[in-house]
Amino acid sequence: MAIKITGSGCYIPPQIVTNTDFARHQFLNEDGSTYAVPNEVIAEKFKDITGIEERRYVEDNLTTSDIAFFAGEKAIEDSKIDPETLDYIIVAHNFGDVKHGAIQSDTVPSIAARVKHKLRIKNPKCVGYDVMFGCPGWIEGMIQAQAFIKAGMAKKCLVIGAETLSRVVDVHDRDSMIYSDGAGATVLELTDGEGGFLAHETASFTYEESKFLFFGKSYNVDHNPDVRYLKMYGRKIYEFALTNVPLAMKACLENSGIPISDLKKILIHQANEKMDEAIVQRFYKLYKQTAPENVMPMNIKKLGNSSVATIPTLYDLILKGKIENQELHEGDVILFASVGAGMNINAFVYRC
């Protein structure tokens, strides 16, 4: 028997926001002073650092639970299961439903409960709950789902990562250009055969690192200081990730018993193209090797950083043949890895 992904789906919002669309923004320094460099220069430097050219924003009438439902419904259809047979619906997010133009997050009832309602599932033994674990939330949901199945507490789980970061960013902060909206989902179930979920690794660094990502006031001093927005210390996160993520990936791979030579793909959280490339290079350097070409699929160039949604979206797009020069075949070994607010790191090894 094996614990395998039997279906996947994603929702990519139709609204494309390019770097040049930020030309009309008034970017400010943390102290509220005017940023001296023109927005065109900011956009060009931003692309060089992050690799992001475009990102996607949801329509005004949609929220996180809506797009989580869209992705979850596609994953269920792809898996060909009866949704009434699901034991768990686990939804990873960080900010709940934030309506367009609102300043308040809505998490009652949970996003998972809303998704179950939208799926019209009647079975009360299908349990829905949320995971708030920073960007690694979808991976953590997958780790929890496989643990339920491995313990005999479940046979089928729907795990979703969904976020509408466009609703929680400070338009005066240059870091707002990083974030995007989206949702990705997978069905994980107990199946005949071999492979599937092989090993995992999770860690939380909170002694000094817990507030590398946080909620803070706008850089515009005229704004209400009690209204909070997503903020980060980018350099600290970069240094933290380069030091700690490769070590977690190595520990996870070694726990699986799979040699690095058998690793076909690394699906890493699409946070920052340069950072992700550096993480993967350092991971291979731990084995005194260089990273093979094409080992790390990327879609951040066009989709930006949609937090918990980046990895399940990337996985679904590869399976559906929508990422150029990237394929997955039966028997291929994948290493999934992420890092984010908390600071949390996790990974799992999976054989297709």
Whether the pLDDT of residue 260 is over 80: the answer is: yes
Q: What is the architecture of the domain spanning 198-351?
A: 3-Layer(aba) Sandwich (3.40)
Please report the pLDDT score of residue 174 as a whole number: 87
Percent share of the chain, pLDDT over 70: 100
Q: Mean pLDDT score of the chain, rounded to an integer? A: 94
Integer Cα distance of 268 and 279 in angstroms: 9
The CA distance from 176 to 191, in Å, is 42
| Torsion sign across C-alpha atoms 296, 300, 302, 303 | positive
Instruction: Give the model's confidence band at 24: pLDDT under 50 very low, under 70 low, under 90 confident, else very high.
Output: confident
CA atoms within 13 A on the CB side of 20: 0
The CATH superfamily holding the domain 2-193 is Thiolase/Chalcone synthase (3.40.47.10)
Q: How many residues does the chain have?
A: 352
Residue 90 has pLDDT above 80, yes or no: yes
Is residue 196 within 8 Å of 3, Cβ to Cβ? yes
Residues of the chain with CATH 3.40.47.10: 2-193, 198-351
Which pLDDT belongs to residue 219?
87
CA distances from 266 to 137, 202, 274, 276 (A): 17, 17, 15, 10
4-13, 35-44, 175-184: least confidently modelled range: 35-44
Give the confidence band of 187 by pLDDT, cuts at 50, 70, 90. Answer: very high
User: Which candidate, 10, 158, 1, places its Cα nearest to that of 91?
Assistant: 158
Q: What is the rounded average pLDDT of the residues 142-159? A: 97
